Amino acid sequence: DSGVTQTPKHLITATGQRVTLRCSPRSGDLSVYWYQQSLDQGLQFLIQYYNGEERAKGNILERFSAQQFPDLHSELNLSSLELGDSALYFCASSVTGDSGANVLTFGAGSRLTVL
Amino acid sequence: GDSVTQMEGPVTLSEEAFLTINCTYTATGYPSLFWYVQYPGEGLQLLLKATKADDKGSNKGFEATYRKETTSFHLEKGSVQVSDSAVYFCALSSGNTPLVFGKGTRLSVIA
């Protein structure tokens, strides 16, 4: 157990629907990162939050949004889902916002299947 | 932008064979370099890291040396075990930027 908790582990939904993925960071970590892992694109950085504020943005679609709450947990919202959104979504956390100096601790991922 | 290129897999080796997984990078400035490992059904775990040129990261028998002149960070292990079967990701971070990952290399070790 890495200390980063992601729910749900698996999710199957239909095109056009909306889902929310949840992440609780490791105790003491202030920064949360979201990554999408697909077979053809590999691991793609989506977005990072540090202590409730957006710190960095990557290849996140406009249909996707995220936030980090005062208790530091984070949610990734995916809307108007398309078949191509099927992927593993990973959350990671670190102590500070500097991923160069700090180790990222990853959760086990949420597998989303869009039918 | 920053990028990481690692050898395509899958790589299949017999137990006790020598392992090399190549990784090269493109980055502005002086990035930190990482190898992460993903075992089946799990999230990524840090395997080793190096933060400056000529640093050698090592863990669990794996090693990688930060080579600035060749912009490389190849992963090596002298004798692989079946339990090393996993997907290995090379990654970098420049300054405060989030990790950029390579596409991963799947390693299968057979007894």
Averaged pLDDT, B14-26: 97
Asked whether the predicted pLDDT for residue B96 surpasses 80, the reply is no
How far apart are the C-alpha atoms of A47 and A67, rounded to whole Å? 9
Provide the H-helix boundaries in A1-115.
Answer: none
pLDDT at A7: 96
Query: Which residues from chain A sit within 8 angstroms of residue B93, using beta carbons?
Result: 99-100
Averaged pLDDT, B2-22: 94
Q: Between B94, B97, B99, which is nearest A104 by CB?
A: B99
Are B77 and B18 within 8 A, CB to CB? yes
Query: Which residues from chain B sit within 8 angstroms of residue A97, using beta carbons?
Result: 96
Residues present in chain A in total: 115
In the numeric block, the tokens 């040396």 are attached to B65
Give pLDDT tens digits along chain A (115 positions).
889 999 999 999 999 999 999 999 999 999 999 999 987 778 999 999 999 999 999 989 999 999 999 999 999 999 999 999 999 999 999 987 676 667 899 999 999 999 9
Are B48 and B63 within 8 A, CB to CB? yes
Are B35 and B9 within 8 A, CB to CB? no
Instruction: Look at B72 and B96; give whichever has higher pLDDT.
Output: B72
Residue type, B103: K
How far apart are the C-alpha atoms of A96 and A101, rounded to whole Å? 9
pLDDT digits 0-9 by tens, B45-90 = 999 999 999 999 999 999 999 999 999 999 999 999 999 999 999 9
Residue type, A70: P
Chain A contact for B72 (CB, 8 A cutoff): no
Query: Which residues from chain B sit within 8 angstroms of residue A99, using beta carbons?
Result: 93, 96-99
Chain A contact for B95 (CB, 8 A cutoff): yes
